[in-house]
């Protein structure tokens, strides 16, 4: 009896009731495919009804607004749209200035360079061509790995640089070695 009470009591002292119907036994209910499809279709229908009611509520709220409130709401929407277009235009302008500044700089990975330059420009308030060029110079100076170099790779060791031509067979390789 005491063990049975312990099984039904939760750690917080409340009685455990595993089933929604109020029974104390753990019963797992299995559903047939037809029942599942019925519940699923009802759920879909209810979701559509909820969406329809939301749109009707929005229409009703819009109808309640006076003419001046409607105009104010429309003005706010248009102002938001204008600000988003301005921001997009400014971003495009900055990207074009960055690309213009990177041209001829022998940059290995322009995407990474652009990302780092944008990050550098984020802290600036007035962004113009001078600011972009200064940011490009700072980034390329600090991140030298972005610039390709014509210097020999230091990992080549003490060997002289070869032509880099691929040789197809061992005999041709030996002839080439003996000629040099």
Q: Which tens digit of pLDDT belongs to each residue from 58-109? A: 888 877 777 788 788 889 999 999 999 999 998 899 899 888 888 888 888 8
- Residue 180 confidence (pLDDT): 72
Domain ranges of the chain: 88-149
C-alpha 78/C-alpha 69 separation (Å) is: 14
C-alpha 146/C-alpha 108 separation (Å) is: 5
Residue 153, token pair as written in the block: 């790779």
Give tens-digit pLDDT for 20-72: 555 556 667 888 989 999 999 999 999 999 999 999 998 888 777 777 887 88
Is the per-residue pLDDT at 10 higher than 70?
Answer: no
SS3 labels along 119-176: HHHHCCCCCCHHHHHHHHHHHHHHCHHHECCCCCCHHHCCCCCCCCCCCCCHHHHHHH
Residue partners of 173: CB distance under 8 A and separation at least 6? 167
Neighbour count for residue 163 (Cβ, 10 Å) = 7
Q: Which of 97-106, 122-131, 151-160 bottoms out in mean pLDDT, i.e. has the lowest?
A: 151-160
- Tell which wins on pLDDT, 95 or 146: 95
Q: What is the mean pLDDT of the chain?
A: 79
């Amino acid at each position: 009896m005491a063990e049975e009470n312990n099984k039904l009591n939760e750690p917080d002292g409340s009685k455990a009731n595993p089933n929604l119907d109020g029974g104390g036994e753990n019963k797992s209910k299995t559903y047939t495919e037809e029942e599942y499809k019925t519940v699923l279709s009802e759920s879909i229908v209810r979701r559509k009804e909820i969406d329809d009611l939301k749109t009707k509520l929005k229409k009703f709220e819009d109808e309640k607004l006076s003419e001046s409130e409607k105009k104010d709401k429309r003005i706010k929407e248009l102002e938001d749209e204008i600000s988003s277009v301005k921001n997009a235009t400014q971003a495009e302008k900055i990207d074009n200035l960055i690309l213009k500044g990177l041209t001829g700089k022998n940059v290995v990975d322009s995407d990474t360079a652009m990302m780092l330059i944008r990050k550098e420009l984020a802290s600036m308030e007035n962004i113009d061509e001078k600011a972009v060029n200064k940011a490009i110079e700072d980034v390329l100076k600090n991140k030298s790995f972005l610039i390709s170099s014509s210097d020999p790779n230091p990992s080549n060791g003490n060997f002289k640089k070869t032509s880099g031509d691929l040789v197809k067979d061992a005999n041709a390789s030996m002839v080439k070695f003996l000629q040099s």
